[in-house]
Copies of this chain bind each other. A is one copy, B any other.
């Protein structure tokens, strides 16, 4: 099982792949100095920019903008207010700046955007939201990559998830994106079921009725799961310190630092977006994580150099 030949076939034979294979080989070797018991084999993955493409804008943002634009169509008073204005006018400059500013420590526009997001789905049941999100991901094309959004997962990372599972690891997603947005598709695209999706969340309220009641979104954020909240949420959900962590931005630093321990060796992977031909090339929002990777000897995964294939063949032509 530790032969990665077929399992990691979209990875080139580089030091990054070797670091993964070596780590897993040591972790499963009973009696070895770096053996990790199966119950401790917890692997956590960021989603946007780590498991699926986040450019030209995060997938979830497209979903929200579609909804906000619909709201602005119905209610003219929203058309001069952010984020409805940007959504309706397709003002990508304003929108693109939100995430970059966040990674540089300025959350003022994040708050404006979140203010719109929580109103976008307030009063909707979790079941209706799941249907909308799943349908959006199944049917919407990526703006530039010539494939559906759900096909914008990185094939080498999907292989890595399966490789880890095959070696007794339990994989979780620990994303800054909305937990319930991902859940309708994660089992299908990653093999990770709903109960192993950790992420940001909107406030929920139980609303009773004659059919057992339902859970309804409130017009308020619950948790924005990024930065130092990632380890908190991972513990809250798993009750364990992970040993494998993989991210791609400054918001993943605490999660990466938290993975492993002097008594229990860890593997920390940082995806570097350096392939403008096959994906995108950017380090905005990842500068500090790249510094830490160098200082802490984390494994940097270069899309350009370490992956022979980035995406699986698309279904659409």
Contacts and interface: CB of A to CB of B under 8 A. Distances in A.
A236 B204 contact: yes
A262 B193 contact: no
Nearest to A194: B239
Nearest to A268: B212
A236 B201 contact: yes
Interface centre among A39, A206, A235, A241 (most CB of B within 10 A): A206
A238 B193 CA distance: 9
A176 to B, nearest CB: 15
A110 to B, nearest CB: 20
B258 A206 contact: yes
B195 A262 contact: no
A206 B232 contact: yes
B236 A194 contact: no
Contacts of A215: 231-232, 235
Given A211-B261, A211-B262, A266-B212, A206 B238 contact: no
CB-based closest 9 A-B pairs = A194-B239, A206-B228, A206-B231, A204-B232, A195-B238, A183-B239, A215-B235, A206-B254, A211-B262
17 contacts: A183-B239, A194-B238, A201-B236, A204-B235, A205-B232, A206-B229, A206-B232, A206-B254, A206-B258, A208-B257, A211-B262, A212-B258, A212-B259, A213-B254, A213-B257, A215-B232, A237-B237
Given A206-B232, A206-B258, A208-B254, 19 more contacts: A39-B193, A126-B235, A193-B239, A194-B238, A195-B195, A195-B238, A195-B240, A197-B239, A205-B232, A206-B228, A208-B228, A211-B262, A212-B241, A212-B258, A212-B266, A213-B254, A213-B258, A215-B231, A215-B232
